């Protein structure tokens, strides 16, 4: 099916209820669990990646700036309430 209005494409994930907030939390949770698994199975240095994810989440809670949220916004994923500052006025 072709897009009726090519100037205003539909937001990605609109039909499934997926928004930037949910995707950011899914990515962060997945990366934390994956790095914990790799730290257990491969090398404890993977815990540095866990620390990086945690530090990024902490700074995003204060500043509202999240690199992944910016990327998802540019890709057309609809915004959620947590990263609504990412939306251009």
Confidence of residue 89 (pLDDT cuts 50, 70, 90): very low
pLDDT tens-digit series, residues 24-34? 999 999 999 99
Instruction: Please check the confidence at residue 80 and state whether its pLDDT lies above 90.
Output: no
d(CA 59, CA 15): 31
Share of the chain above pLDDT 90, in %: 51
Instruction: Please check the confidence at residue 17 and state whether its pLDDT lies above 90.
Output: no
pTM (predicted TM-score): 0.68
23: left (phi over 0), alpha (psi -120 to 50) or beta: alpha
Please tell me the predicted confidence (pLDDT) of residue 85. 55
Residue 77, φ and ψ in degrees, nearest 5: -70, 135
Token pair, residue 83, equals 């990263």
Domain boundaries, the chain: 20-79
């Amino acid at each position: 099916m072709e897009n009726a209005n090519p100037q205003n494409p539909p937001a990605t994930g609109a039909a499934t209820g997926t928004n930037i907030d949910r995707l950011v939390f899914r990515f962060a949770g997945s990366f934390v669990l994956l790095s914990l698994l790799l730290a257990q199975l491969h090398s404890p240095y993977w815990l540095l990646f866990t620390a990086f994810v945690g530090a990024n989440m902490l700074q995003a809670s204060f500043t509202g700036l999240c690199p992944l949220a910016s990327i998802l916004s540019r890709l057309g994923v609809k915004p959620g309430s947590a990263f609504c500052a990412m939306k251009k006025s």
